[in-house]
Structure 1
Amino acid sequence: MSCMSCSSPHIPFLLFFLLLISFTLLGNSPTQHTLTNFFSTFNASIPKLEGLSISNITTSFSFSSFFNTSTTKHHQQQMTAIPSIRPTAIDKEMKLSQLEKGLERARAAIRKAIIHRNYTSNKDENFVPRGSVYRNANAFHQSYIEMEKRFKVWTYEEGEPPLVHGGPEADIYAIEGHFISEMEDRRNPFRARHPSEAHVFLLPFSVVYIVEYVYKPGAKDYWGPLKRLIADYINVISDKYPYWNRSHGADHFMVSCHDWAPHLSVANADLHRNSIRAICNANTSEGFKLGKDVTLPEVHLPDGGLSSPAREQTSVDSRTLLAFFAGGAHGYIREALLRHWKDKDPEVVVYEYLPKGINYGQMMSKARFCLCPSGFEVASPRIVEAIFNGCVPVIISIDYPPPFADVLDWSKFSIEIPVARIPEIKEILGNISARRYGVLQRRVVQVQRHFVLNRPAKRFDVFHMVMHSIWLRRVNLRLNY
């Protein structure tokens, strides 16, 4: 008896030790530090994001199977965890917990919509995504509903126009200025009233205006002043607030349509490596990271007026041209296109300079296919122009993920031709049957609403689609603040 009584005090300590070991092993489980690509699209691995602790959305359902991506494989990579930064106030900790709980409920609702092939909404839905143009219409619709219900963005108030809190609202970079302006509008439903409510944070500097006002042609170090300005802005907000430092910028994003945006984002290592970069120049060979960054569609507004599809969509039978392109020899892809097809064929009409008296939009409306080759950079405003004119876009590019490819299946309403097959354009397009072309063209009209720029923004338009792309990336992250 005496022996039993003397050993019994050690039993609780032994049990505690065993429990500690088991929890430690569970905490080191690979599923606790893995980024699940919520709307898996491309056969590319997600890069490591330093300073993050990422967890699977769920252990019981594979979110990489949300869409019909049988030809791609989703690769998961281990994330590097950092120590949690404990908020100094209890209310801050509670708000962070509420944000994460809200995201968990959103994930559960999307999972339910996929399983039951339906959506749940507390209001009448005036538009319901349907059809094969969506990788998974139910997943997209429920995700969109959850975004409208929960998603909040804080726009930093530091800085002065024109370099911050503004941007161009005309020409090929117009979407940059319109997006920043829309987020600055206090009527915007996504605008957070306080940064503690925000899921993500917008860095409202304009790369276009930074280049326009700070760049000095011919200067020995022309990159330096531009990068320092961006670095200084991040230093200001990271010194003043805790939000950048607690996530190493992973819940922050920038928006820019300027060609130099990817290069200038290296001004801050965390901005380039961790933050969401919504950019037009989305070149995967130059550091654009699938699953983290967002392809911004290039919307050309030559006179500053808002974009919209052609009022009268030309019927299929009235499209007498096989293919059309007009544009300068900017970059090797366009040079190859002009070399093979400029003034060579009456059915494949290719101009370097549009002749006088010929209307660009009318030519697109006459063509069945509109050629959209990359220029000096990968993005082309012709993709959106083609869609607005009901012309099936033919994307000729390398390393360019098209906009909203998380949810839109571009193979259902566009054609992709490799650069090496430019000489075969007529043969490739000519072999597409009338029936298949009719289906492609109808689907082009179907996706038009997703590329329209409205002010104020409207449901499912280009602004909301960009917001949804950013929302998805935040839903995919669980950050241990």
Structure 2
Amino acid sequence: MFGKQQNHHHTSTRPRSRSKILILTLVFFSFSLLVILYTISSSARPSVTYLDPSDRPETSFVTSLEQFLIHKAPKLSLPVRDDTVRGESDDDVRKLDEMVFERENRWLNEDPGYPVGFPIKVYVYEMPKKFTLDLLWLFHNTYKETSNATSNGSPVHRLIEQHSIDYWLWADLMSPESERRLKSVVRVHQQQDADFFYVPFFTTISFFLLEKQQCKALYREALKWVTDQPAWKRSEGRDHIFPIHHPWSFKTVRKFVKNAIWLLPDMDSTGNWYKPGQVSLEKDLILPYVPNVDRCDAKCLSESAPMRTTLLFFRGRLKRNAGGKIRAKLGAELSGVKDVIITEGTAGEGGKLAAQSGMRRSLFCLCPAGDTPSSARLFDAIVSGCIPVIVSDELELPFEGIIDYKKVAVIVSSSDAMQPGWLVNHLRSLTPSRVKEFQNSLAQYSRHFLYSSPAQPLGPEDLTWRMMAGKLVNIKLHTRRSQRVVKGSRRFISLDCGLPTNESSPYIEPVTGLVFSSDADNIQSGKSGRIQKTLDTVHIKPYLFLRFFPDGVRNCYTLPVLQNVNYLIRAVFVYGNYDGFNDYPSFDLYLGPNKWGRVDLEGKVNGTIEEIIHIPRSNSLQICLVKTGNSLPFISALELRLLRSDTYVVQDVSLKHLFRRYYRQSDRSIRYPDDVFDRIWSPFFLPEWRQITTSLDVNNSNNYEPPKAALKSAATPRDNGTKLTINWTLDNPDEQVHLYFHFAELEPLEINSSNLDFVETTRLLLRRKISIVVNGNVTSDSILPIDLAVSTVDTVVNKCNGGKCSLQLVKSPGSAERVPLLNAIEAYTAIKFPHSETNPDDVVSIKIIQATYGLRRIDWQGDPCIPQQFLWGGLNCSDMNMSTSLRIISLNLSSHGLAGKIVPYIQNLTELQKL
């Protein structure tokens, strides 16, 4: 049957068969041609083929967030291997540092690419959900409601989206490794394995969606949480990454994380958003805005796409502040020019569509500075295939260490752009081939500015970590150097003077937690004594024993210190009738060759303290007690505390403690551990004052770090009073007084309004503004205490008439009716030490000679040459009037019965004239 059919149709089917073959051939050829053309056109721009539509990266923030919260967020609540800690001790910092050192030392020997090899290892803090997931859900659940506009007309949700770099980076790091595509970064779960620490706090969402005071409180909580971590303490935050992409986000606490790496939209040369010195290209990283418009796809960029008939396009707000004022000038200059479109608009949904359509029909897109040097418009233009025309003289661009912006943008100076007709003529002068080069580069470069989930190789998330790798060596350098200088063994020295040999040393003092040691290794004279046991309950353990000096006139301690750094030096004297004579002694106290002060215990049943802030000029410090009458000098404790070099900065003087007070009705003194520098704060209050307090946390993170316990209360005038008055008297009326005022606003204003500009303006009008008046002269004006955070103001009083000093805190002229307040104050008198120490090489040599020969002379203590009345026996020194340090010129050892060889160290006394 089959054969018969073939025969039956033989003559009639041959033409039809040829027709079918021809049609099939044409179809196949056409399909092949389309494939070839598509391949050729695709080769001009990066592309990825996704066999499964679900593999296509999602670039919409709202859609990606929806998927993340539904599919990934629930898994984040499951237990994971993580060693995040909350507020641990210095011991945890030390342990972490040891583990980091072990890891780095191993890599240094095994990995030739260390320390800049890939992948970068990032530890993501598992912060409480209120800083992360709760904020994401807040945006998700209120997305439609957050479409309301800010005071300048920009929709809130659109601003959150264009600054959502914190979400995109975090979402990639938190994704399972099986779903991640980046090879430049890997998340680690042990702190000692990390190169960087990522802080996943959504600062932009919290800024826009929380009430202002609630937002500030959350900022402070996040700050405390992070700065309590051992990793933060170890590096002082240098390897921590904070996404602070909106110019206002995290603003109230930024100064406390100034060492950290900030992810920013630009550097803001105007000073409106970042304080001078807060940001730098060396420390921080600029990340692109998230584009407001959709990426121009292959169809949009193809030859068949609608012609770009507009020469230059701009849509946005023309009236801006600071550097952005050029917008209005350019708008006026370009308005009405042929083939140029300049329109006013915002980034709302309608605005997005209008901007997207305008950019896709334009060859060039104008990108002038706004309130900050950069804006999302630049990246909207790039992903739209519209050549950016950058008119922003102070602009810093993202990833510029990797990307050459001259290939994708026309960059002109503001002065050139403002010349009549210059900009349009310049753009028209570009040849078609040059324009085509720009467009081809845009097609290739646009992927560098498209955040997506999952994050793509060479996308902005990938380039972020590639750029971060370049910062690693410098961070490690500063971290190690900081540890060496600040965290060395000489940071705290605590000596229990006269501690008997049968007592444990060192020991931990239980009230403060400080480690005290015996003073036996630091002095060669004196005897141990003990105060009466009836006083044991009054004093902490280091003050129960004392060392007294029945022999010699001058007895000196020698202490190892760091040269040319600030120390707080405290000498404690508790008589406690240790000798049973009930005769309170008096004597002099010396710091090296210079008199520090007079110690007089008369009437001071509980003892007295002498304290000074001083910068040693060598690596050895001598503290001497000098007998001046019949009573014996003694000392209970010596305490040295290393201070920050950027605090208590004075020229050529030391600061002798006058008083240090916090204002509260209390009988409790404050010191370590509440004060990290172990300063002692005494409570003070007068009946004519009103006390205000707070139970909220007060941020004390500035250079001085006054204790939080001292900042949580303050004094203000009572009833209708308008000023705070503080008086004191000086023994010497010519003494210069240095004052340090610590302010913190404990009664923040509550202003209920959704208009952020109104709230900010009202707060500025109603805030406390304080002036400091000393002896009738205004020394500081318009001081604005910060809500629940410290600010420190210092001033100098050169002279108080008759030694009577009067200080007043008053309302600044033109300020609101709020009365002044003061939380804490420090006062010091300047003391100038006239004598230089003996040449340090001579001092080292003579002490080695003393030790070698075993010369135990009671008068061989302290500085060998200065002061003259305490010149070491058997020595003569060079003329005291010489401007250089004194030298030993004569040494007589004939009365010591020495025999044998002369020690070679004598030859190091290079100015020795007689032996």
**With structure 1 as the length reference, what TM-score do the two structures score?**
0.63
- Call closer, same or farther: CA 1:105–1:288 in 2, change over 3 Å: same
- In structure 2, distance between residues paired with 1:233 and 1:90: 27
Alignment deviations for residues 31-68 of structure 1 (CA, whole Å, 9 cap, x no partner): xxxxxxxxxxxxxxxxxxxxxxxxxxxxxxxxxxxxxx
Q: 2:437 is matched with which residue? A: 439
Matched, 1:250 2:219: no
- In structure 2, distance between residues paired with 1:206 and 1:154: 17
- In structure 2, distance between residues paired with 1:365 and 1:88: 54
Alignment deviations for residues 429-472 of structure 1 (CA, whole Å, 9 cap, x no partner): 12222232222221121211211222011111111112222222
Q: 1:289 is matched with which residue? A: 280
Matched, 1:463 2:461: yes
Number of residue equivalences:
342
The answer for unaligned runs of 5 or more in structure 1 is 1-84, 108-142, 217-221
Residue type at the aligned position of 2:468: I
Residue type at the aligned position of 2:113: R
- Call closer, same or farther: CA 1:418–1:477 in 2, change over 3 Å: same
- Call closer, same or farther: CA 1:358–1:86 in 2, change over 3 Å: closer
Rg larger in 1 or in 2? 2
Offset at 1:88? 6.6
Partner SS state of residue 437, structure 1: helix
- Call closer, same or farther: CA 1:442–1:264 in 2, change over 3 Å: farther
Partner SS state of residue 349, structure 1: strand
- Call closer, same or farther: CA 1:99–1:267 in 2, change over 3 Å: farther
Matched, 1:157 2:126: yes
Offset at 1:478? 2.8
Matched, 1:325 2:314: yes
Offset at 1:403? 1.0
Offset at 1:249? 0.8
Partner SS state of residue 260, structure 1: coil
Offset at 1:90? 5.3
- Call closer, same or farther: CA 1:89–1:403 in 2, change over 3 Å: closer
Q: 1:125 is matched with which residue? A: none
Offset at 1:290? 1.2
Say which structure is richer in strand. Answer: 2
- Call closer, same or farther: CA 1:260–1:281 in 2, change over 3 Å: farther
Counterpart contact for 2:100–2:193, Cα < 8 Å: no
User: Which of 224, 228, 235 is the aligned partner of 1:235?
Assistant: 224
Offset at 1:177? 2.3
Q: 1:338 is matched with which residue? A: 331
- In structure 2, distance between residues paired with 1:406 and 1:356: 33
Larger RCO: 1 or 2 (CA < 8 Å, sep 6+): 1
- In structure 1, distance between residues paired with 2:401 and 2:351: 40
- Call closer, same or farther: CA 1:157–1:353 in 2, change over 3 Å: closer
- Call closer, same or farther: CA 1:233–1:360 in 2, change over 3 Å: closer
- Call closer, same or farther: CA 1:98–1:178 in 2, change over 3 Å: same
- In structure 2, distance between residues paired with 1:181 and 1:237: 20
- Call closer, same or farther: CA 1:205–1:100 in 2, change over 3 Å: farther
Counterpart contact for 1:393–1:414, Cα < 8 Å: yes
Q: 2:101 is matched with which residue? A: 93
Offset at 1:186? 4.1
Question: Counterparts in 2 of 1:136-175, with a 5 A limit?
Answer: 146-147=117-118, 150-161=119-130, 171=158, 172-175=162-165
Alignment deviations for residues 164-221 of structure 1 (CA, whole Å, 9 cap, x no partner): 78556963223332223333334356211222211000111122122124443xxxxx
Q: 2:364 is matched with which residue? A: 369
Q: 2:81 is matched with which residue? A: none
Say which structure is richer in helix. Answer: 1
Question: Counterparts in 2 of 1:65-214, with a 5 A limit?
Answer: 87=95, 91-98=99-106, 105-106=113-114, 146-147=117-118, 150-161=119-130, 171=158, 172-187=162-177, 190-214=186-210
Residue type at the aligned position of 2:449: F
User: Which of 441, 448, 451 is the aligned partner of 2:446?
Assistant: 448
Q: CA RMSD in A?
A: 3.2
Counterpart contact for 1:371–1:393, Cα < 8 Å: yes
Counterpart contact for 1:309–1:452, Cα < 8 Å: no
- Call closer, same or farther: CA 1:285–1:352 in 2, change over 3 Å: closer
Alignment deviations for residues 60-80 of structure 1 (CA, whole Å, 9 cap, x no partner): xxxxxxxxxxxxxxxxxxxxx
Partner SS state of residue 180, structure 1: helix
Percent identity between the aligned chains? 22
Counterpart contact for 1:276–1:470, Cα < 8 Å: no
- Call closer, same or farther: CA 1:334–1:314 in 2, change over 3 Å: farther
Q: 2:265 is matched with which residue? A: 280
Residue type at the aligned position of 1:365: R
Matched, 1:298 2:306: no
Name whichever of 155-164 and 360-369 sits farther off.
Answer: 155-164
- In structure 2, distance between residues paired with 1:398 and 1:357: 27
Alignment deviations for residues 89-126 of structure 1 (CA, whole Å, 9 cap, x no partner): 8544312434666886156xxxxxxxxxxxxxxxxxxx
Counterpart contact for 2:295–2:384, Cα < 8 Å: no
